[in-house]
Chain A
């Protein structure tokens, strides 16, 4: 079966297993396939993190086990999506402390990528709220992991891209909320300095993120709109069901060209300037979820998302160089998002580190790859690193330069999976696992 990530590049012909129970899953592990295996949730990582010759889907491991309504402690299967979690938890006044930009990801995937949200600067990343989980190792053994039990393994699995084992059950701490509507403020900024200054200035607010017009050049390079939000006190705990339009098939990639992007970016800048408003959690956290299959807008060849973080000291200079390089190459991105991260946690491969993170996306075309290589060099020169959940092309040296703790991760890998059964196209490319020959396709 042909599978792909959300970016629809690359694709691989893989065997997809969908065990219905934990025991079926451990039985699966009892037979050793000739190809590499990797756990897969909703397939929402963008590149090749969840692609391998054999993928083990958490699709049917999506049961709720319990919800302690006094303490806000949720136990559930790793295949549960945020969408389902929210439907059950919101009416009871509980909300995940960290949510990604789409509600269609699974809890297992959120742990594998140690995802972050618009509140990272204040609250940290998703795994900071994971109390514990059960992990299936390559040999089928089940291990309970938390900050205190098998702590080293816990720090490896959180952000470890599924390479150490398969997360089965998760115990999660939720936040008490009295409303799931947010009062928001949009602040237009006229250049990169001002955008970064606005992000710094609002660093005490709960949710802060900036959209950048990445086609603006010269004086207005890095202009954008900073969105700030917090829960309001309207006592509305309603699950928002919004059925927007879908994209039924791949549209010709020509639709996304310099002119349409320039138009979109200018319009966005004008329409979002200086307004205060009230938005539902769906509109605020998951704006793109209302357009089902928006990834098809990039045409049959798909797209690549490019996200990196730079330390505060070099952020302005580095981001400015990246934006200039992108603008001069004329490869605009519909969505350019800038956000300030808070302190790094102790997980070995978690992406967020203190500084500024920028996300860009690009239509997949041959001429893109040399440009991204150039951007990699800028990022590494400025002491940054890339987000693996978005990546489909990073080189081994660039990865290792960005993640100095990779060796420590690898030594855990050698202990729990010495035969490297769990590997993805990504882990083989960036040198976290060897055995490139294991994948025939």
Chain B
């Protein structure tokens, strides 16, 4: 199986790539930091990947997305799975007050994903098969005070995926939306951890199983589906007063 992983050095992507390496998949990695990509390629080869290619890219540079996707196609020939994993958690107070910062956060977590999906969906349509899997977030389910800029970008991607899923159905392309809850990773290093926190390894396991089973929207871990259902059912009169 040939797997493209975008934002491959993120903690969730790293753990997922290792699972595919164990299955002896052929992998293509896209991330920003060249030296980390090189180390990751060695790691995945040793863990059993059939072959590992990589491409260095700043995902904010949309014009280069086409080049990166071409590089992936050249290396993998056909792309069975494309997993989009990149993202960054902005400081809410900062992005509330500084539009340029908000724009960048929306770009990293939202627009850049749409740009990649535009290219990848066309490629997979041509192939007539494949799975597009995107890591979004439970933060996209309802706008909440501590992270609504991040949440808005993730909500945009989730809505985009919902529509695209139907559009790609006749072409044999499947779309998976993975919504992790709180994950203990470098992105959340500054936050206090509690009982609901999960690990990148658990989320990775969920991602691989969701792709195998051709699920549509999965929460990782599963209990977040219940938590978010409750969060979404709170009447707005009350919800607007909640600070969590």
Kindly state the separation between the CA atoms of A64 and B47 in the bound complex, as whole angstroms. 7
Contact A64 B46 (CB under 8 A): yes
Q: Within 8 Å of chain B (Cβ to Cβ): is A285?
A: no
Q: Could you say which residues of chain B place their CB within 8 Å of the CB of A65?
A: 39, 42-43, 46
Kindly state the separation between the CA atoms of A44 and B48 in the bound complex, as whole angstroms. 28
Q: Within 8 Å of chain A (Cβ to Cβ): is B118?
A: no
Contact B42 A21 (CB under 8 A): no
Q: Could you say which residues of chain A place their CB within 8 Å of the CB of B22?
A: 87-88
Given contacts A21-B35, A87-B22, A88-B48, A63 and B43 within 8 Å (CB-CB): yes
Interface residues on A, range: 10 to 19
Question: Quick one: which of A63, A66, A88 has the most chain B CB within 10 A?
Answer: A63
Kindly state the separation between the CA atoms of A65 and B39 in the bound complex, as whole angstroms. 7
Q: Within 8 Å of chain A (Cβ to Cβ): is B2?
A: no
Query: Distance (Å) between the CB of A136 and the closest chain B CB?
Result: 16
Q: Could you say which residues of chain B place their CB within 8 Å of the CB of A312?
A: none
Instruction: Mark each residue of chain A from 44 to 86: 1 if its CB lies under 8 Å from any CB of chain B, else 0.
Output: 0000000000000000100111110000000000000000000
Q: Could you say which residues of chain B place their CB within 8 Å of the CB of A66?
A: 42, 46
Q: Within 8 Å of chain A (Cβ to Cβ): is B193?
A: yes
Query: Distance (Å) between the CB of B35 and the closest chain A CB?
Result: 7
Q: Could you say which residues of chain B place their CB within 8 Å of the CB of A20?
A: 9, 36, 186
Kindly state the separation between the CA atoms of A88 and B42 in the bound complex, as whole angstroms. 13
Q: Within 8 Å of chain B (Cβ to Cβ): is A18?
A: yes
Given contacts A1-B192, A87-B22, A88-B48, A63 and B186 within 8 Å (CB-CB): no
Kindly state the separation between the CA atoms of A214 and B61 in the bound complex, as whole angstroms. 67
Query: Distance (Å) between the CB of B27 and the closest chain A CB?
Result: 14
Kindly state the separation between the CA atoms of A21 and B42 in the bound complex, as whole angstroms. 14
Q: Could you say which residues of chain A place their CB within 8 Å of the CB of B192?
A: 1
Q: Could you say which residues of chain A place their CB within 8 Å of the CB of B36?
A: 20-21
Q: Within 8 Å of chain A (Cβ to Cβ): is B189?
A: yes
Q: Within 8 Å of chain A (Cβ to Cβ): is B131?
A: no
Contact A18 B43 (CB under 8 A): no
Instruction: Mark each residue of chain A from 356 to 385: 1 if its CB lies under 8 Å from any CB of chain B, else 0.
Output: 000000000000000000000000000000
Contact A88 B193 (CB under 8 A): no
Instruction: Mark each residue of chain B from 26 to 65: 1 if its CB lies under 8 Å from any CB of chain A, else 0.
Output: 0000000001100110110011100000000000000000
Kindly state the separation between the CA atoms of A65 and B42 in the bound complex, as whole angstroms. 6
Q: Is the interface of B mostly helix, strand, loop or mixed?
A: helix
Q: Could you say which residues of chain A place their CB within 8 Å of the CB of B186?
A: 18, 20, 60
Q: Which of A1, A23, A63, A67 contacts B40 (CB 8 A)?
A: A63
Contact B43 A1 (CB under 8 A): no
Query: Distance (Å) between the CB of A246 and the closest chain B CB?
Result: 13
**B22 to A, closest residue via Cβ:** A87
**B44 to A, closest residue via Cβ:** A64
Number of interface residues of B (CB under 8 A): 16
Query: Distance (Å) between the CB of A86 and the closest chain B CB?
Result: 12
Given contacts A21-B35, A21-B36, A60-B186, A67 and B193 within 8 Å (CB-CB): no
**A16 to B, closest residue via Cβ:** B189
Contact B189 A88 (CB under 8 A): no
**A239 to B, closest residue via Cβ:** B22
Q: Could you say which residues of chain B place their CB within 8 Å of the CB of A87?
A: 22
Q: Could you say which residues of chain A place their CB within 8 Å of the CB of B193?
A: 1
Contact A67 B46 (CB under 8 A): yes
**A74 to B, closest residue via Cβ:** B46
Kindly state the separation between the CA atoms of A67 and B44 in the bound complex, as whole angstroms. 11
**B186 to A, closest residue via Cβ:** A20
**A62 to B, closest residue via Cβ:** B43
Given contacts A63-B39, A63-B40, A87-B22, A18 and B46 within 8 Å (CB-CB): no
Query: Distance (Å) between the CB of A61 and the closest chain B CB?
Result: 10
Query: Distance (Å) between the CB of A102 and the closest chain B CB?
Result: 17
Question: Quick one: which of B46, B48, B193 has the most chain A CB within 10 A?
Answer: B46
**B41 to A, closest residue via Cβ:** A63
Kindly state the separation between the CA atoms of A63 and B35 in the bound complex, as whole angstroms. 13
Kindly state the separation between the CA atoms of A66 and B38 in the bound complex, as whole angstroms. 12
Kindly state the separation between the CA atoms of A60 and B12 in the bound complex, as whole angstroms. 12
Contact B42 A63 (CB under 8 A): yes
Query: Distance (Å) between the CB of A319 and the closest chain B CB?
Result: 41
Q: Which of A21, A64, A91 contacts B43 (CB 8 A)?
A: A64
Query: Distance (Å) between the CB of A331 and the closest chain B CB?
Result: 32
**A89 to B, closest residue via Cβ:** B46
Query: Distance (Å) between the CB of A42 and the closest chain B CB?
Result: 13
Kindly state the separation between the CA atoms of A91 and B21 in the bound complex, as whole angstroms. 14
Query: Distance (Å) between the CB of B194 and the closest chain A CB?
Result: 11
Instruction: Mark each residue of chain A from 327 to 356: 1 if its CB lies under 8 Å from any CB of chain B, else 0.
Output: 000000000000000000000000000000
Given contacts A18-B189, A64-B42, A65-B42, A88 and B47 within 8 Å (CB-CB): yes
CB proximity to B under 8 Å, residues A396-426: none
Query: Distance (Å) between the CB of B5 and the closest chain A CB?
Result: 16
Q: Could you say which residues of chain A place their CB within 8 Å of the CB of B11?
A: 60
**B48 to A, closest residue via Cβ:** A88
Instruction: Mark each residue of chain B from 190 to 203: 1 if its CB lies under 8 Å from any CB of chain A, else 0.
Output: 00110000000000
Instruction: Mark each residue of chain A from 1 to 19: 1 if its CB lies under 8 Å from any CB of chain B, else 0.
Output: 1000000000000000010
Query: Distance (Å) between the CB of A54 and the closest chain B CB?
Result: 14
Contact B35 A88 (CB under 8 A): no
**B33 to A, closest residue via Cβ:** A21
Kindly state the separation between the CA atoms of A374 and B40 in the bound complex, as whole angstroms. 51
Q: Which of B9, B39, B40, B46 contacts A88 (CB 8 A)?
A: B46
Kindly state the separation between the CA atoms of A87 and B186 in the bound complex, as whole angstroms. 25
Closest 5 CB pairs of A and B: A64-B46, A63-B43, A64-B43, A67-B46, A63-B39
Question: Can you list 28 contacts pairing A with B, beta carbon distance less than 8 Å?
Answer: A18-B186, A18-B189, A20-B36, A20-B186, A21-B35, A21-B36, A21-B39, A23-B35, A60-B11, A60-B186, A63-B39, A63-B40, A63-B42, A63-B43, A64-B42, A64-B43, A64-B46, A64-B47, A65-B42, A65-B43, A66-B42, A66-B46, A67-B46, A87-B22, A88-B22, A88-B47, A88-B48, A91-B48
Extra contacts, 6 of them, besides A21-B35, A60-B11, A65-B39 (Cβ < 8 A), are: A20-B9, A21-B36, A64-B42, A65-B42, A66-B46, A87-B22
Query: Which residues of B pack against A, CB within 8 Å?
Result: 9, 11, 22, 35-36, 39-40, 42-43, 46-48, 186, 189, 192-193
